Amino acid sequence: LLSLLQKWALLAQSACSSLCCLCCLLGLLVAIGLTLGNQGRVLLAPCSIASIAPVSHECPFDPTRVYVSPPWAGDVP
């Protein structure tokens, strides 16, 4: 009886996990579709030439930023 209960619990957990994964995948596909549909203009809309700075709260991201490893990571080849 315990083995059967464990199998049903595993099946239910797997079904819930699969449903969550499907929802995330659909959301990602919609976001990619909307971004490609407007050629990314909406992402840069709040950014002006003056607001593209290292510390800018108007821009959702900094397109001029150069990403480097943190000092505590050491030299990574």
> Cα–Cα distance between 21 and 14 in angstroms, integer?
10
Percent of the chain with pLDDT over 70: 55
> Where in the sequence is the domain holding 8, given as residue range(s)?
1-38
Q: Residue 68 pLDDT more than 80? A: no
pLDDT, greater one: 23 or 52: 23
Residue 26: inside a domain: yes
Name the domain count of the chain: 1
Are residues 5 and 13 in contact, defined by beta-carbon separation less than 8 angstroms? no
Q: Phi and psi dihedrals of 6, rounded to 5?
A: -65, -40
Percent of the chain with pLDDT over 90: 31
Q: Residue 26 pLDDT more than 80? A: yes
> Cα–Cα distance between 53 and 47 in angstroms, integer?
10
**DSSP codes joined into one string, 50-76:** TT-SSS-SSSSS-TT------GGG---
Residues 37, 41, 44, 45: is their CA dihedral positive or negative?
negative
Residue 17: inside a domain: yes
Is this prediction's pTM over 0.85? no
Residue 9: inside a domain: yes
Residue 5: inside a domain: yes
Residue 28: inside a domain: yes
Residue 1: inside a domain: yes
Q: What is the pLDDT of residue 51?
A: 47
